[in-house]
């Protein structure tokens, strides 16, 4: 049975955006840097700035965060951006736009200006030792995602280890943690999160990947509801009344505020081509997903999806109306 995201006192209004929007894939829109056939191995994320530039985290010889303009032309790499941003967002603040990135291997959180200047680093050691899982007797912090609440609090996910969500204030001071593998959460790979600003107060939308569900929580960790039967959700982005979910088993779903799926995009009917990073470019099909891993909207509602892929692939769907 599906449980909706509705909190007490919230009135649901089905907007014209939800009712009328259509999307169309854009073929071959991304153009890799000169001398590269593809952008490089990707196990990361995508975010779009207010100027419409598309930021993609990749590894390989031009690893880090690559930047493309709205037409798909490669512009630059972000200086100082590491090549292990598994999850990152671009967040608008009074002082400008900032990249917040979760380092999978480095075990820290970086806040950077778009020009690459690091303005804040939160080391993993800020998290209480007893909340960090151990592997072979050593700390095993595996940060997979980060997002920022309207009040400036920073939420980071240890999604490949403890499944805990850690909270820091805007200056990087540790505040609290919740989540994990035990009840009432029961997370199995709390992969990525989004601060869900469709509600007042804002909430957290968590991709509980191996439980094949989304989990909606308050900012202090109370479970509000779930959406089951997803195709291993990996990432989520919010735009107006929609939550767009990148499902690593080859699909993107768009959900309304009640948690109802109102549109699916690019579903892949070849099982062997989903949830794997080994699909080669010659097998890519326009608009058909293989392993969606990161997702974001631009300011007008066009959709960008980066895949888990050893060559690196970013798909674009534009709104038709």
pTM of the shown model: 0.94
Cβ atoms within 10 Å, residue 129: 8
pLDDT-derived band of residue 320, with 50, 70 and 90 as boundaries? Answer: confident
Rounded to the nearest integer, the mean pLDDT of the chain is 94
Cβ 302 vs Cβ 316: under 8 Å? yes
Give the C-alpha separation, 178 to 47, whole Å.
Answer: 26
Q: What is the mean pLDDT of residues 133-161?
A: 97
Question: Any idea where the domains of the chain sit in the sequence?
Answer: 16-319
Integer CA distances (angstroms), 232 to 115, 248, 259, in order: 34, 6, 16
Alpha-carbon span 11 to 255, nearest angstrom:
17
Residue 321 pLDDT greater than 90, yes or no: no
Mean pLDDT calculated for residue range 22-37: 96
Could you check whether the bond before residue 81 is cis, i.e. omega within 30 degrees of 0?
Answer: no
- Output the pLDDT for position 18: 52
Q: Is the per-residue pLDDT at 87 higher than 60?
A: yes
Sorting pLDDT into bands at 50, 70 and 90, what band is 20? Answer: low
How far apart (Å, rounded) are the C-alpha atoms in residues 186 and 179? 8
Q: Domain 16-319: give its CATH code.
A: 2.120.10.30
Residues making up the chain, counted from first to last:
321
pLDDT of res. 15: 43
Amino acid 276: pLDDT = 98
pLDDT at site 21: 75
Determine the longest span between alpha carbons in the chain, in angstroms: 56
Residue 2 is predicted with a pLDDT of 39
Which pLDDT does position 103 carry in this prediction?
Answer: 98
Q: Which tens digit of pLDDT belongs to each residue from 267-291?
A: 999 999 999 999 999 999 999 999 9
Per-residue pLDDT tens over the stretch 52-74: 999 999 999 999 999 999 999 99
Both tokens assigned to 200: 């007042």
**How many Cβ atoms sit within 10 Å of the Cβ of residue 243?**
23
Residue 1 has pLDDT above 50, yes or no: no
pLDDT in tens, 214-257: 999 999 999 999 999 999 999 999 999 999 999 999 999 999 99
From residue 152, alpha-carbon distances to 100, 147, 149, 165, 167 in Å are: 12, 10, 5, 16, 11
pLDDT value at position 12? 32
Question: Using CA atoms, how far apart are residues 316 and 29, in angstroms rounded to an integer?
Answer: 7
Contacts of residue 158, defined as CB under 8 A and 6 or more positions apart, other chains included, come to 132, 133, 141, 142, 143, 144, 164, 165, 166, 190
Residue 80 pLDDT class (50, 70, 90 cuts): very high
Residue 184: the pLDDT is 96
Find all residues with CB under 8 Å of 222, minimum gap 6, and list them: none
Per-residue pLDDT for 165 more than 90?
yes
Whether the predicted pLDDT of 13 surpasses 70: no
Give Cβ neighbours of residue 320 (< 8 Å, ≥ 6 apart). 21, 22, 23, 24
pLDDT tens-digit series, residues 176-193: 999 999 999 999 999 999
CA pair distance 151, 170, nearest whole angstrom? 8
Per-residue pLDDT at 11 exceeds 90: no
């Amino acid at each position: 049975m599906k449980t909706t995201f509705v909190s007490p006192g919230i009135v649901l209004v089905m907007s014209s955006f939800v009712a009328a929007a259509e999307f169309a894939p854009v073929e071959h829109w991304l153009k890799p840097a000169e001398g590269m056939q593809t952008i490089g191995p990707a196990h990361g994320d995508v975010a779009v700035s207010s100027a419409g530039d598309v930021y993609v985290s990749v590894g390989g010889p031009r690893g880090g965060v690559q930047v493309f303009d709205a037409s798909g032309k490669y512009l630059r790499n972000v200086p100082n951006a590491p090549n292990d941003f598994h999850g990152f967002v671009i967040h608008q603040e009074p002082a400008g736009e900032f990249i917040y990135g979760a380092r999978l291997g480095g075990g820290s959180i970086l806040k950077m200006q778009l020009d690459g200047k690091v303005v804040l680093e939160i080391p993993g050691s800020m998290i209480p030792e007893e909340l960090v899982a151990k592997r072979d007797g050593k700390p095993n912090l595996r940060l997979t995602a980060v997002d920022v609440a309207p009040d400036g609090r920073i939420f980071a996910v240890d999604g490949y280890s403890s499944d805990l969500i850690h909270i820091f204030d805007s200056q990087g001071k540790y505040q609290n943690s919740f989540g994990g593998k035990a009840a009432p959460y029961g997370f199995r790979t709390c992969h990525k999160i989004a601060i869900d600003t469709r509600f007042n107060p804002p909430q957290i939308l968590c991709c509980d990947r191996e439980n094949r569900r989304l989990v909606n929580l308050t900012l202090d960790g109370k479970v509000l509801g779930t959406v089951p039967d997803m195709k291993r959700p990996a990432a989520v982005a919010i735009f107006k009344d929609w939550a767009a979910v990148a499902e690593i088993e080859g699909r993107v779903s768009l959900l309304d505020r009640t948690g109802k799926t109102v549109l699916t995009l690019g579903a892949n009917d070849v099982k062997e081509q989903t949830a794997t990073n080994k699909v080669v470019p010659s097998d890519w099909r326009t608009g058909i997903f293989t392993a969606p891993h990161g997702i974001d909207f631009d300011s007008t509602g066009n959709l960008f999806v980066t895949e888990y892929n050893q060559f690196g692939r970013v798909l674009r769907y534009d709104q038709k109306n």
